[in-house]
């Protein structure tokens, strides 16, 4: 970065890219180059007028266009970063937003070193993450169509009191008859929607297991599975969403990244802390908060956890057991103090982050 002569800011859209640059070691205002179509060839042609790839440092905001552009520019020899849009400082009084202004702002902040880059995943890591999110969408769709069927049956007096969606429940559904043909069509279509959604979720889950067998982060996934309430899908989601946990120097930064730390508004001698910041990755935060609920029970090695410990290094098992003993005790202590169970789960999830970070930083990719 010491050899950089030009800092470039790109405002990227699906059809166009706005380009601005700021000269290094200068206080001159950034200059707008122009707008080109979304094409690596057109972009590199415009960048070639600013200098050689080794002289240029480029940044653009993370967005719906993915990481294809940054990977292509890096292959061309450019230093390129993707920055977090939420961390781009904007003036509250600035009510005018254009592509030109956004590109100029990025160039100026990039030169000042005030932008926070995000981790660009490897293509295989991104593919696993896409598969994880596709499965999560399928499970969410399955939950919705099941709820529609349940609500429809409840409206017409066909409530089921046992455990739903098992063999007995399917037998119960097969006995339901509607005299009106329109209602029979609705009932049949809802059942088919539940079936299709369930089959899709099962297929994606199996695909996820198959692809994970050759993934370089599989040792880390298996290491995280030694923790209580972190099963295969949960561990795979954590690693796929976060990548290399070694990029977090301290577990406090990891907790803050997931939005599990309290917000704060302090001034002078006044200190006020509020609700969780809830910034960062929502997928992982949801998993950790749900996992925290299982620590309400006493610490033990159950039937589901025992197989996950086999073949793991002793120091990983020790960390997992230490986490279970501490978090189970802390859960009971916080509840005994009268803390609401939701706040208790958030506190346990925050501490669970520390143990996940400890395991994740000790295990190397295959």
The pLDDT score that the predictor gives to residue 280 is 85
User: In the numeric block, which tokens belong to residue 206?
Assistant: 């199996």
Compute the chain's Rg from CA coordinates: 26
Residue 140's pLDDT is 97
Residue 87 is predicted with a pLDDT of 84
- Short-list 282, 283, 307, 166, CA closest to 231: 307
Could you give the CA distance from residue 7 to residue 28 in angstroms, rounded to a whole number?
12
Q: In whole angstroms, what is the distance from residue 197 CA to residue 202 CA?
A: 9
Strands (E), the chain: 6-12, 16-23, 31-37, 56-61, 79-83, 262-264, 273-276
Is residue 33 within 8 Å of residue 42, measured between CB atoms? no
Q: What would the two tokens of residue 48 be? A: 């070639």
Check: CB of residue 27 under 8 Å from CB of residue 104: no
How does pLDDT run across 283-302, given as a tens digit for each residue? 999 999 999 999 999 999 99
Q: What is the pLDDT of residues 230-275, one digit of tens each?
A: 999 999 999 999 999 999 999 999 999 999 988 888 777 778 888 8
Q: What angle do CA 51, 52, 55 make, to 5 degrees?
A: 80
Cα distances from 287 to residues 140, 243, 351, in angstroms, run: 14, 16, 14
- Helices 314-336 and 341-362 cross at an angle (nearest 10°) of 170
CA separation for the pair 67, 49 (Å, rounded):
24
What string of pLDDT tens digits covers the 366 residues of the chain? 568 999 999 999 999 999 999 999 898 999 999 999 999 999 999 999 999 999 999 999 999 999 999 999 999 999 999 999 988 888 887 888 999 999 999 999 999 999 989 999 999 999 999 999 999 999 999 999 999 999 999 999 999 989 999 999 999 999 999 999 999 999 999 999 999 999 999 999 999 999 999 999 999 999 999 999 999 999 999 999 999 999 999 999 999 999 998 888 877 777 888 888 888 899 999 999 999 999 999 999 999 999 999 999 999 999 999 999 999 999 999 999 999 999 999 999 999 999 999 999 999 887
């Amino acid at each position: 970065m010491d050899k950089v002569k030009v800092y470039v800011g790109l405002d990227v859209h699906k059809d166009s890219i706005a380009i601005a640059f700021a000269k290094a070691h200068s206080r001159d205002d950034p200059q707008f180059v122009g707008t080109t179509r979304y094409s690596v060839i057109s972009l590199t042609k415009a960048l070639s007028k600013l200098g050689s790839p080794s002289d240029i440092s480029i940044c653009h905001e993370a967005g719906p266009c993915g990481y294809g552009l940054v990977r292509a520019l890096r292959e061309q020899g450019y230093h390129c970063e993707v920055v977090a849009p939420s961390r781009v400082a904007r003036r509250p009084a600035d009510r005018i937003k254009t592509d030109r202004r956004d590109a100029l702002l990025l160039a100026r902040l990039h030169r000042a070193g005030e932008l926070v880059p995000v981790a660009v995943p490897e293509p295989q890591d991104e593919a696993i993450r896409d598969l994880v999110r596709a499965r999560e969408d399928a499970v969410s769709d399955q939950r919705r169509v099941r709820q529609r069927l349940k609500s429809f049956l409840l409206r017409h007096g066909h409530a089921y009191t046992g455990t739903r969606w098992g063999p007995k429940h399917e037998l119960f559904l097969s006995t339901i008859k509607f005299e009106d043909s329109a209602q029979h069509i609705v009932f049949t279509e809802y059942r088919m929607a539940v079936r299709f959604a369930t089959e899709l979720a099962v297929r994606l889950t199996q695909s996820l297991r198959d692809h994970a067998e050759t993934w370089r982060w599989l040792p880390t996934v298996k290491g995280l599975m030694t923790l209580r309430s972190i099963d295969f899908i949960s561990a795979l989601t954590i690693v796929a969403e976060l990548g290399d946990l070694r990029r977090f120097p301290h577990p406090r930064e990891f907790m803050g990244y997931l939005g599990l730390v309290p917000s704060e508004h302090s001034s002078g001698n006044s200190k006020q802390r509020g609700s969780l910041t809830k910034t960062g990755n929502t997928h992982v935060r949801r998993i950790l908060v749900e996992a925290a609920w299982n620590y309400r029970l006493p610490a033990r090695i159950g039937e589901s956890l025992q197989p996950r410990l086999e073949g793991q290094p002793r120091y990983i098992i020790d960390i997992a057991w230490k986490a279970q003993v501490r978090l189970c005790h802390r859960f009971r202590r916080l509840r005994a103090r009268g803390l609401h169970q939701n706040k208790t789960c958030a506190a346990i999830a925050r501490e669970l982050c520390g143990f996940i970070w400890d395991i994740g930083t000790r295990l190397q990719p295959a």
